[in-house]
Chains A and B, each alone.
Chain A
């Protein structure tokens, strides 16, 4: 055996060990996730989420809506958000130096009047040109500022938010009507909570009526369905498990609820990264631990944020490239936390996992696939062994994908049709043969774009949500008093209603998918 063959042999042994360790981690996360979801399903009937949305003693929420050139959609967005089933909230729209008529549209629709409002914090942002209130709708505040990007806009929103909790939502996302109350519940149940993430789900293919989500369906296109399975694996199979072990590092920018005072304490969003949402979460962990303060950052699988995922390959590639760049930036900035016991399990387990399996992992995978084929062709690896290896890898991937589909069926039932189940079942196979490998390639390439200093977000082609424009509220829960499918209270083991709740990206395939889609 020559030197190259020795190298091939050695590398494939390494790959085998790599895959085994990765599968072990996935298994631990999946078991943790399953147990957490079981616990949630058992407890859900005891929890009166409606009282959270109706009680005047509930913690009020500021919803931050950054807007850049959204003249055609912003008013409809706000009207939809105003229908949120939550007792006390304000919507802080941040017009981030739009070049179109965003501010004029808002002024016309809500009869805005310029007012004075002292900021409650002093995060650095681009200059605020004016603050406007609406005499017709006191819950709306509009901040007009010089353009500074999404993180800058969010920081301006935090400065002027009145309430102790804030929720930053993406322009391409819709909230379930009861989503806020479920997240607020977590803060009220555990005062040491700093941030809570909710599940992000794919809305492509669903039906809308009068601007509302009427029926959740899986889309016809393969790419979007693959992302549904991927999201399910990431959220149910990954993030729930990370959260249960107190190591959640990512809360999607599309949907998360944060304590305002703590975020101000750490300096708000970082304005120099494309992954500002995940970076903030890691900084919160770091800061709280450095201060010796309790830090509960958790993930809650029930409240849903619906988002439109890319249906063409080009957009998907750009999106994933951006997510991976965000991850790289985050890890580089906080490399000082790696392997440091003072940062607890975040520094000693979660970050090393992200470093090895999410940051370097795609490169190892791509090189591994190539060398594996060469090794089989050269006879370095016996064919029987190679086939057995592939069979085990595929079996494991399939089992995990079906596990999360079963979790979804057990706990949330958001895709109730038989056609939906069949589509997801087919995608569970394709996800493991082809899709995952493609994404590994894209993520490996992200190192190149990162090295070039690319800070672009990339364009997203959207179909839109029908009459309901982005940033809206989905009223899929249905209010009828005697509707037996309404959210059950004290239902115990009784069948869970079709619209009782929800969870979602790869955790198990690639946790980086957890960076939720952004506008």
Chain B
């Protein structure tokens, strides 16, 4: 074989290989494009029925979504609709699902070997306000797959019944997931009554202070004023973690009535509690807090001073007056913080004007 023959052979075989590989890539792309196009049409159809259809039409959609691809599209469509549709509509979707032949199949899917099948079943079974749904999904909170546990946790939050809240609190106590992942689902008005009841009844040995702190954070996240009273009580906890969580959450759900407890927390031995209490007092806008916050400007901890100065600015006129007084403070650190907040306030006023 000559060099020329060899090169021709080399180029030819490479070209052939390139064509084969390109064919593979093109084939793959064509298949994906077709599937995607099918999926787009199906999701649009599902959305139309789920948004406007009656229970029977919704049941038909669930019955029609037999194969894995269609069921996946249905799950995606429902998930996207959760962001916009009112809860009543989802209750209707739940009724439609129950009227279909899907529930037994989905319940069977909860025991599937494939994590995605279990997760999707848990998702589709999470009908808002349906007591049975919580019990169906609950075992997946202990699933060996962390992703499935997260889907179950989100599913219980969608069900949003007192029983679902209880199950999530149990999961929190048993640490089936990182606490924050459950708190973010539990921190909503629908769960407040159950959380308060659990705090009132005592969290028990299983949870201890860690559970109390988590529930305090969930109450704060809910933004529901019903959480204010138990949070105020938690400010007297023996656990620093619980005190900090309660002080932080009170800034979100508390009112003037909580101010005395927060003002008392400004005297805590722990700087983090004092700093958090100062911050929350600013958010509450409690006029009674001006004087105690003014004292905090010369706290020994930098963060307490900084938070107190900021809180005073947030308190409006009486707080600003206190900051002006503090500019002449004998403690130069207090004066610095006051000057800083006044400078920020000046810009805000200028921009507002």
Contacts and interface: CB of A to CB of B under 8 A. Distances in A.
Contacts of B43: 482, 484
Interface in A182-231: 188-189, 191
B84 A481 contact: yes
Contact of B120 (A113, A492, A498): A492
Nearest to B67: A493
Interface stretch (A46-54, A76-84, A147-155, A165-173): A46-54
Contacts of A409: 25, 28-29, 32
Interface string B172-191: 00000010110110010000
A406 interface: yes
B44 interface: yes
A418 B17 CA distance: 20
B326 to A, nearest CB: 14
B178 A490 contact: no
Given A115-B340, A493-B69, A57 B25 contact: no
Given A57-B181, A425-B25, A492-B68, A135 B18 contact: no
A495 B68 CA distance: 12
A56 B178 contact: no
A488 interface: yes
B347 A136 contact: yes
B347 A46 contact: no
Contacts, number: 186
A57 to B, nearest CB: 4
A57 B179 CA distance: 9
A421 B29 contact: yes
Contacts of A390: 10
B75 A489 contact: yes
A88 to B, nearest CB: 12
Contact of B337 (A57, A116, A391, A496): A116
Nearest to A498: B36
B178 A188 contact: yes
Given A116-B306, A490-B151, A425 B22 contact: yes
Contacts of B62: none
A287 B10 CA distance: 50
A440 interface: no
Given A57-B221, A136-B351, A425-B25, A398 B32 contact: no
Nearest to A399: B21
A372 to B, nearest CB: 14
Contacts of A498: 36
Contact of B6 (A56, A58, A135, A384): A384
A482 B184 contact: no
A111 interface: yes
Nearest to B117: A492
Nearest to A117: B306
Q: Secondary structure of the B side of the interface?
A: helix
A394 interface: yes
Given A495-B39, A498-B36, A490 B9 contact: no
Interface in B35-89: 35-36, 38-40, 43-44, 47, 68-69, 71-73, 75-77, 79-81, 83-84
* Interface footprint category on A: 35 or more
Interface string A406-417: 100110010000
Q: Which of A111, A383, A391, A484 has the most CB of B within 10 A?
A: A484
Interface string B126-159: 0000000000000000000011101100100000
B24 interface: yes
Nearest to A486: B80
Interface in B257-295: none
B1 interface: yes
A39 to B, nearest CB: 10
Contacts of A51: 154, 184
A48 B150 contact: yes
Contact of A421 (B25, B181, B184, B348): B25
B116 interface: yes
A438 interface: no
B71 A56 contact: no
Nearest to B83: A481
Interface in B8-32: 9-10, 13-14, 17-18, 21-22, 24-26, 28-29, 32
B99 interface: no
Given A51-B184, A406-B28, A494-B39, A46 B44 contact: no
Q: Which of B36, B148, B302, B351 has the most CB of A within 10 A?
A: B36
22 contacts: A46-B151, A47-B147, A57-B183, A57-B184, A115-B340, A135-B348, A188-B180, A188-B181, A383-B1, A387-B9, A394-B14, A402-B21, A482-B43, A482-B77, A486-B80, A489-B75, A489-B79, A493-B68, A493-B72, A494-B69, A494-B73, A495-B36
The 4 A-B residue pairs whose C-beta atoms are closest, nearest first, are: A494-B72, A492-B72, A490-B75, A495-B36
Given A484-B43, A489-B76, 5 more contacts: A45-B120, A398-B14, A402-B21, A425-B22, A491-B72
